Amino acid sequence: MIDEASRILKEIIPESYVSLRQGIGLQTQDTIKEHVNYVLPLQKLYEFPKLFEGLESIEGIEFKVVLTSLEEAFLNFSKVEVQQ
């Protein structure tokens, strides 16, 4: 499911990249729910409807869009700079 979503995302918005990927815990006894965050460039906003259409075609997937504030973007950028 996540691999299919990643394929669609890279096909429609190749500049996108993963900022976080983690297992969230047990959804059922033998299934781990996976959570992936992607960073999408605002310059590709016109591609979002096509992207959402593709993601909605995947059975069982949930997604949401979050627009970070300038302060959050700055903090994330600072964190990356400090780690390097």
* pLDDT tens-place string over residues 9-57: 999 999 988 887 766 555 555 566 777 888 888 889 899 999 999 999 9
Write down the pLDDT at residue 77.
55
Return the ∠ at Cα 61 (arms to 53 and 64), rounded to 5°.
70
Backbone angles phi, psi at 81, to 5 degrees: -65, -40
The reported pTM is 0.68
Write down the pLDDT at residue 42.
85
> Which residue range is the domain that position 63 belongs to?
2-83
Distance between CA 84 and CA 78 in Å, rounded?
10
Write down the pLDDT at residue 54.
93
How many domains is the chain partitioned into structurally? 1
